[in-house]
Amino acid sequence: MARYRIIHDTEYAYAAPVSLSRQLLHLTPREVSWQRCIEHRLEILPAFALRLERRDAFGNPVTLLALEAPHEVLQVRAESTVDVLGHRLPDERDVPSWEFVRDLLTYRSGVPVNSLYLDAARYRFESPYGRVKQDFVAYAANCFLPGVSLLDGVRALTTKIFREFAFDPEATTVATPVTQVFKARRGVCQDFSHLMISCLRSIGLAARYVSGYILTTPPAGQTRLIGADASHAWVSVWCPIDGEDRWIDADPTNNLMLGSQHVALAWGRDFTDVSPLRGVILGGGTHELAVSVTMLPLDELELSRI
């Protein structure tokens, strides 16, 4: 088990006063079998007129804010303490072939749908940034050969994207279509996750987008840069085993199957469902956005204060 302290700062600086703002926040770590949120709090400036906590359609905790006083800067700090118990991959002997899982999600007229599959089915089809196209079928083909287990196929696709796509923060924006990323062979974690999701859905599998954080380990002899980390994204693939609802998490940006270095905030069909902070404003004109994330093991954080 690992315990982390996470500080996520977001600041919007507007060119003109904002008179009214409504914001939706996905900044509360999700409670799942492999992680527990021990403590969480939000600091928001300016003062809000209304704050509501609820769950969205995917079961993620969300915060709704209404700001009704004129302001030129919006600052949101999310501080969380999270225990990560670690992901356990299923026994390879128990993992079915990828075709078996695909066939479970295939609709057949007159055949009742198993309730176990209904939640997974929403991650099977196209979404704004998850496309279903023959180009993606062809790209994933050599990873998902006939009879290959779902786990082996996911591992192979994770490695292929890692090796063939370059990490380049200047190559894309949050609005870059996955088809453009596919052609350019460059992008960031959000792009690589959308690409992998598109490949998996295109061959008939269910895959969801997970937003969160990753502990960045610096080169030997260098200290971790406080505030240098950013929010992260990876992919979760549906893999039912013996009638149980299971998911396999993979990080194509780092060529990793998840262990204890990732903390999940929320999941959905793609980035549009789980943006950390998004909303509508009246006024403001242009704006500048600054985001920083610090994620440290709690024992390391305590030592830094001595």
Distances in Å between the Cα of 198 and the Cα atoms of 122, 132, 148, 179 are 14, 6, 19, 9
Among 98, 303, 282, which Cα is nearest to 207's? Answer: 98
36-46 pLDDT, tens digit per residue, is 999 999 999 99
Confidence (pLDDT) at 303? 44
* Domain extents in the chain: 2-85+275-304, 92-274
Considering the segment(s) 92-274 as one domain, its CATH architecture is Roll (3.10)
Higher pLDDT, 116 or 233: 233
Tokens 């406080």 correspond to what residue? 226
24-33 pLDDT, tens digit per residue, is 999 999 999 8
Distant-in-sequence, close-in-space partners of 214: CB < 8 Å, separation ≥ 6: 229, 232, 251, 254, 261, 262, 263, 295
Confidence (pLDDT) at 306? 39
**pLDDT bucket at 300, cuts 50 / 70 / 90:** low
Higher pLDDT, 217 or 278: 278
161-172 pLDDT, tens digit per residue, is 999 999 999 999
Confidence (pLDDT) at 260? 86
Confidence (pLDDT) at 232? 93
Query: Strand runs (DSSP E) across the chain, as ranges?
Result: 2-25, 35-45, 50-55, 61-67, 71-84, 166-167, 186-187, 207-214, 232-238, 247-251, 256-257, 262-268, 277-283, 287-297
Neighbour tally for 137: CB within 10 Å: 16
Q: What's at 279, amino acid-wise? A: G
Confidence (pLDDT) at 116? 78
**What is the reported pTM?**
0.93
133: which 2 tokens? 């196209």
Confidence (pLDDT) at 305? 52
As a CATH number, domain 2-85+275-304 is 2.60.40.2250
Cis amide prior to 46 (ω within 30 degrees) = yes
